[in-house]
Structure 1
Amino acid sequence: MSKTQLIGDCLYGYVPGEERVCIENSVEQISAFIMNHRFDGQVKITKYLDIIEVQTVGQFIDQCDNKRFLNDELLPILVPMQSGEVEVPEFVPYVDVSYSVKNVRVVNEEGKHLLINIDFFDSMEETLVNDEVYDTEEELIAKYPKSISEKLAEHIVNAIPYERDEFIDEYVYDYCDVENAKDLLNISNESLMELWGTEDEKLESFTGVVKQKIHNMTFGELLAYTFKHNMNIRSIN
């Protein structure tokens, strides 16, 4: 499946009365989502920051401001599905590895210690990392020193998610100081001072650089960064 001209690796799908799901950014999966929910009322497909890309009534498009995408990409695939000329493909919710807590130490029913990954987006799914089991947690840690405890994983998963822009504003105005900003941007004191000034223009330039850097970080990178600097903030979408 080829990626559409829309921004991002995935979009978000909203169906009345259901939790939102991730949709792979391909015209086939967008069409499959629309067709699979054609009897569920008004369906919305949005991109980052919940900006509407497509809104439907039944199986028909009610709103799509991007006319180039609508006419050149979506309708040529969707219309044959609507008319029954082609089979509707299976809709498979998109899983973004950015929303994965990896290498979590757990104990199975036999009392053995092993590793799992927790993938979550409004729900959780556990997958085994490998077939290895250990008699003690110490043995597991010795083999995988970067693994994390189940307690820490639960803290991460159960944290209240919020949008990345909300996190950026909170970071810039409440948590950004010389030390963690230097670490974030990986620059020297001199370069940081060059960016960080009291003049409005320089301050705007500095915050612009910081915001762009955070926008480009993965969820895992952001999470590691906030833990490293003991920031008392929630998890980030």
Structure 2
Amino acid sequence: MDYPYLIGYVYSEEGRSEHFLKATPTNIASFIVKNSPLDVIQITTPLDTAFISTRAGFIDYCADQEFLRNELLPVLIPMQMGDTEPPEVELVPENEMNSMDEEGLDSLEF
């Protein structure tokens, strides 16, 4: 994964909530599972580019199909089936994001 964190948006009856997630397959899977299966989830890069979206607990879009197939689904499916307990979602504190941006985004090639 090229980013130190991702931004997860959860759209529910109460409105939209925003979460800054550590960008690991297990953490992304846990975030998806721990949010209501009836909610809409959109996960973006720090540059606000769409990465993953879900509806009713199912992924309906993923920008990186290789990541989806080889890294995310192998940890997501056991969590969704109840075979694996989803761990606590690791959130990035806002005060750490600036230093992560400087370290992580500066190393990206455009």
Q: TM-score, normalised by structure 1?
A: 0.38
Letter in 2 for 1:92: E
Give 2:81's match in structure 1, choosing from 74, 80, 83. 83
Distance in 2, Cα, partners of 1:36 & 1:81:
10
Structure having the larger proportion of residues in strand: 2
Consecutive aligned runs of 4 or more in structure 1 exceeding 4 Å deviation:
none
The residue that corresponds to 1:48 in the other structure is 46
Structure 2: segments with no counterpart, 5+ residues: none
Measured against aligned partners, the alpha-carbon deviations of 1:93-123 in whole angstroms (never above 9, x if no partner) come to 12252448xxxxxxxxxxxxxxxxxxxxxxx
1:28 equivalent to 2:23? Answer no
The correspondence for 2:9, drawn from 9, 14, 23, is: 14
The one-letter code sitting in structure 2 at the alignment partner of 1:74 is L
Unaligned runs of 5+ in 1: 101-163, 165-214, 217-237
Q: CA RMSD in A?
A: 2.0
**Contact 2:7–2:20, Cα closer than 8 Å, also in 1:** yes
Deviations 1:104-159 (A, max 9, x none): xxxxxxxxxxxxxxxxxxxxxxxxxxxxxxxxxxxxxxxxxxxxxxxxxxxxxxxx
Give the letter for the 1:50 counterpart: D
Identity %: 33
Higher-Rg member (1/2): 1
Give the number of the structure with larger relative contact order, counting CA–CA contacts within 8 Å between residues 6 or more apart: 2
Describe how 1:127-206 pairs up with structure 2 within 5 A.
none
TM-score, reference length from structure 2: 0.78
- Distance between the aligned counterparts of 1:45 and 1:98, measured in 2? 16
